[in-house]
Structure 1
Amino acid sequence: MTRTPLPPSRPGGARGLATRVVLGALRASLLVSPRPAVLLVRRQFAAGVVDRTARLDALAPADVTAVLDEPYGPHPDEVLDVFHPAGAAGALPTVVWTHGGAFVGGTKDELRGWFRLLASHGFTVVAPRYTRAPEARYPTPVRQVLAALAHVQEHADRFHVEPSRLVLAGDSAGAQISAQVATLVTVPSYARDLGVEPTVDAAQVRGTVLCCGVFDLAQISRTSPLRDVLRACGWAYSGNRHFEDDERFLSTMSVGRHVTAAFPSTFVTVGNADPLRVQSQTLATTLERHGVDVETLFFPADHEPALPHEYQFEADTADGVAALDRIVRFVRRCTA
């Protein structure tokens, strides 16, 4: 998310009235189906990243080789991108980045410029597409990321992937998916409970990079500006209108309830103006309590400029540059 995916209301005027009518209609639609709200979220995501995508593409270095839309499975959505420095010789530490979008929106394509930036620092970057809700339900994206991991290991030489030096990464919903994959890889009983077969061993996953994630839907405040959006997305992803009462869904999705000391070294960041910032802070605290090696990039509440959701992709700003630098240093450290 780059912004709250609902238009801001205004106290008066025709536009303010129209906004209230739209919001009222969306809330009413949640009594019947999540699809109207999901479609609006997707449109808002697509519109909100046009400028950012263009700026990232303009910043992307030319000396990075890309393999785009490589199939990793039979479904049309099961394709991935691979980026590595041009002329790379041999295997490189590999970052597998799962994009965000509240489980219903977003694409890997809009981040290709940023992936090139990351790869230019001496990594292979793999970016899988997954099937978004409501076209697919939980935990389909988890299984698809695992299938992508199997594919890149099978073609490791061609992609310059080092299977023994993997970092699972993601933003927003993608951070949750990546954290969930890391959890099921390191906690066999959790994988069995979820009914998912890992395609990598715990020793292969050297770290996780988790940016602006949503890690526990049960902890979303009822006063959050994202409340209605996340209700729609949770319904679409779970297939259950009353997912907030579905303890199995909430529990298995909430990785903080299942992590152990075996969880990989982790870097966590979130902006000070992100409505989901408590989610990242809570997960970092939970991991530290288990003795996990954790690095954080958090900001004081009065930090200026205020940093919104997904601030780290603003790669032409001082804070975006700082985030990329910290991510690069973390990946180098944990894959050394």
Structure 2
Amino acid sequence: MKIKQQKPKGLWKKRMFIFLIIVLALGIMGVSYWNFSPYPKAFLIKKAFEGGMFEPSNNYRNALKETIRVKDINYNSKFPDGTLDLVYPKNHKETTPVIFWVHGGGFVGGDKSDITGYAVELASRGYIVVNINYALAPKSTYPTPVLQLGEAYEYIKENLNKYDLKLDRVYFAGDSAGAQISSQFVNIQTSAEYAKLTKIDSIVDPTTIKGVLLFCGPYSMSELAKIESTKEIQEFMRTAGWAYLGEKNWEGLNETKIASVLDHVTKNYPPTFITDGNTASFENQGKALVSALQREGVLVDSLFFDKNVFGELGHEFQFKMNTSAGQDTFNEVLGFLSKTK
């Protein structure tokens, strides 16, 4: 009987030893994977962006009544996640201006649904919003989203009658990572030299681009991880750069320099609206882009908030439409659109 009792005990010890070895091995592998792949941290960033930041204004119910939404249109992308939504004002005409919007999410997260509320607010004021999804990093890397914005534009252009609109007055907009994507896309359309540098063909008649709307974006990609925030968020931004540009040491890549639209804008860049929060965002890069565009003689409307006066306004503050800063920004956007359309 003792022998029979001892064998299970010995087997239990052996199994526990094997289990501990496996746990230790998995732990080592996990640390290695964390350090040698952007996927684990990119997954956490993606989770952090889920649900978006939009908080409706008091007028949102009326805005919903004044708009029509067509969801999940396949724009025939060569890449994953190639769908878009259209948000119309109910009284739209064929000549209603069109805004192409690219969502944010650190290049690794976010979704067009995060923009729906803001798109509804804009549409209720007389604009058609083309709200696009695109393939996320690290599965898809730079310049995939830039190419997909072009695909979405070409799809709409090929289906003008189907969707009852024209593209003779267009805007390109984006928030956070989407602001970088849109700003770079527009520079390709308006600078032949830059298009050649990126090796991406221009497809939009630049005379039809009436303006650009940029919210809380990074415009110097090599400075992406130098966001004024905690070390943890800076580390997440390093991961976002790694995921999007495909190399762990991405700061010095030629692609990183090319994607830094701040260093490549020209006098042909369209009129631009730029804003950002004053806490844990890219305010300095936004201000630098304002200066770069103004040096080229480009019309720029900008809105930044003194922390001593307005308090702390975080990344994507503009989507909080139930705040005075959110409302002030929306009104400035409407003013910019009105004078440029």
TM-score, normalised with respect to structure 1: 0.86
* Sequence identity (%): 32
Alpha carbons 2:53, 2:316 under 8 Å: kept: no
SS at match of 1:329: helix
Alpha carbons 1:88, 1:160 under 8 Å: kept: no
Indicate yes or no: 2:119 matched with 1:112: no
Cα deviation, residue 30, structure 1: 4.8
Task: Identify the residue that residue 154 of structure 1 maps to in structure 2.
Answer: 158
Compared with structure 1, are the counterparts of its residues 158 and 328 closer, same or farther at alpha carbon in structure 2 (3 Å cutoff)?
farther
TM-score, normalised with respect to structure 2: 0.85
Task: Identify the residue that residue 36 of structure 1 maps to in structure 2.
Answer: 40
Task: Identify the residue that residue 303 of structure 2 maps to in structure 1.
Answer: 297
Compared with structure 1, are the counterparts of its residues 61 and 310 closer, same or farther at alpha carbon in structure 2 (3 Å cutoff)?
same
Q: Which amino acid aligns with 1:69?
A: D
Partners of 2:199 and 2:142 in 1: CA distance: 12
- Counterparts of residues 8-87 of structure 1 (less than 5 Å): 30-46=34-50, 49=52, 52=55, 60-74=63-77, 75-87=79-91
Task: Identify the residue that residue 193 of structure 2 maps to in structure 1.
Answer: 189
Cα deviation, residue 171, structure 1: 0.4
Task: Identify the residue that residue 208 of structure 1 maps to in structure 2.
Answer: 212
Compared with structure 1, are the counterparts of its residues 29 and 183 closer, same or farther at alpha carbon in structure 2 (3 Å cutoff)?
same
Question: Alignment partner for residue 279 of structure 1, among 274, 279, 285?
Answer: 285
Task: Identify the residue that residue 217 of structure 1 maps to in structure 2.
Answer: 221
Question: Alignment partner for residue 234 of structure 1, among 233, 241, 247?
Answer: 241
Cα deviation, residue 28, structure 1: 7.0
Partners of 2:228 and 2:96 in 1: CA distance: 45
Partners of 1:97 and 1:118 in 2: CA distance: 11
Alpha carbons 2:220, 2:263 under 8 Å: kept: no
SS at match of 1:163: coil
Indicate yes or no: 2:322 matched with 1:316: yes
Compared with structure 1, are the counterparts of its residues 156 and 288 closer, same or farther at alpha carbon in structure 2 (3 Å cutoff)?
same
The Cα offsets for residues 150-185 of structure 1, whole Å up to 9 and x where unpaired, read as 111222233343311111100000000000011010
Compared with structure 1, are the counterparts of its residues 102 and 58 closer, same or farther at alpha carbon in structure 2 (3 Å cutoff)?
farther
SS at match of 1:90: coil
Task: Identify the residue that residue 13 of structure 2 maps to in structure 1.
Answer: none
The Cα offsets for residues 219-258 of structure 1, whole Å up to 9 and x where unpaired, read as 2438742320111111111111111121x12211100111
SS at match of 2:272: strand
Partners of 1:160 and 1:306 in 2: CA distance: 42
Which runs of structure 1 show a deviation greater than 6 angstroms over 4 or more consecutive aligned residues?
25-28, 53-57
Cα deviation, residue 63, structure 1: 1.9
Unaligned runs of 5+ in 1: 1-24
Indicate yes or no: 2:266 matched with 1:263: no
Alpha carbons 1:256, 1:283 under 8 Å: kept: yes
Query: Does 309-318 or 84-93 show the bigger shift?
Result: 84-93
Cα deviation, residue 300, structure 1: 1.1
Unaligned runs of 5+ in 2: 1-28
Alpha carbons 1:65, 1:85 under 8 Å: kept: yes
Q: Higher Cα Rg: structure 1 or 2?
A: 2
Q: Which has the higher helix share?
A: 2
Partners of 1:64 and 1:51 in 2: CA distance: 17
Alpha carbons 2:273, 2:300 under 8 Å: kept: yes
Compared with structure 1, are the counterparts of its residues 120 and 56 closer, same or farther at alpha carbon in structure 2 (3 Å cutoff)?
closer
Compared with structure 1, are the counterparts of its residues 223 and 283 closer, same or farther at alpha carbon in structure 2 (3 Å cutoff)?
closer
Cα deviation, residue 217, structure 1: 2.4
Partners of 2:30 and 2:54 in 1: CA distance: 27
Q: Which amino acid aligns with 1:66?
A: R
Query: Does 262-271 or 26-35 show the bigger shift?
Result: 26-35
Alpha carbons 2:115, 2:131 under 8 Å: kept: no
Compared with structure 1, are the counterparts of its residues 27 and 323 closer, same or farther at alpha carbon in structure 2 (3 Å cutoff)?
farther
Alpha carbons 1:170, 1:178 under 8 Å: kept: yes
Alpha carbons 1:105, 1:132 under 8 Å: kept: yes
Alpha carbons 1:56, 1:111 under 8 Å: kept: no
Question: Alignment partner for residue 125 of structure 1, among 129, 133, 141?
Answer: 129
Query: Does 317-326 or 81-90 show the bigger shift?
Result: 81-90
Alpha carbons 1:71, 1:79 under 8 Å: kept: yes
Compared with structure 1, are the counterparts of its residues 227 and 274 closer, same or farther at alpha carbon in structure 2 (3 Å cutoff)?
closer
Partners of 2:54 and 2:100 in 1: CA distance: 25
Query: Does 270-279 or 260-269 show the bigger shift?
Result: 270-279
Quote the RMSD (CA, aligned, Å). 2.4
Q: Which amino acid aligns with 2:307?
A: A
Alpha carbons 2:54, 2:115 under 8 Å: kept: no
Q: Which amino acid aligns with 1:81?
A: D
SS at match of 1:161: coil
Query: Does 147-156 or 286-295 show the bigger shift?
Result: 147-156
Indicate yes or no: 2:278 matched with 1:244: no
